[in-house]
Amino acid sequence: MAGVFTKHNGAGYADALICEAEGLDSLRAALRDAGVFCIRVPEVRSVGETEMEIEAIDSGAATTATFQMLGDGLAQMHKSPKLQYGWGGDNYIGLSPQPNRWSATWVYHYLNHYNLFGSGYLEGCRRGFLMVKQVAGHL
């Protein structure tokens, strides 16, 4: 049995590690289904609100060849067309909440759920719209 790495929840969100474990399991399955075996994703041993135990994976040197394998493997995984793009529920990117919805295209999903949200643009647009709505209500 491989060693164990324990990660503690410092995100401030009770479900952060649970969401991360779901993501690891999904990524591992997607790589396997695409026939990609050069990228290792740790097995989740246990997970709760405060900590997650995952398989410890020994890392090797970061070389041009290993980056090429990583890129080729991720490209292979993304080759197969999907019926929908996104994730079934909200989760996190690092310490930031990440809203998710299913989208018909990856471009729509990326622009509306990752790019605009991550840059703060989407929230700024929402606040601006609410301000216009409030002002219009007083006219």
pLDDT in tens, 51-100: 999 999 998 889 999 999 999 999 999 888 888 988 889 888 877 788 88
Size of the chain, expressed as the number of residues it contains? 139
Task: Provide the β-strand partners of residue 97.
Answer: 92
The pLDDT-based confidence of 115 (bands split at 50, 70, 90) is low
| pLDDT (0 to 100) of residue 8 | 96
Cβ atoms of residues 105 and 86 within 8 Å: no
Cβ atoms of residues 65 and 100 within 8 Å: no
pTM: 0.77
| pLDDT (0 to 100) of residue 135 | 80
Cβ atoms of residues 16 and 92 within 8 Å: yes
CA of residue 91 relative to chain centroid, distance:
7
Which of these, 40, 52, 63, 42, lies nearest to 16 by C-alpha position?
Answer: 52
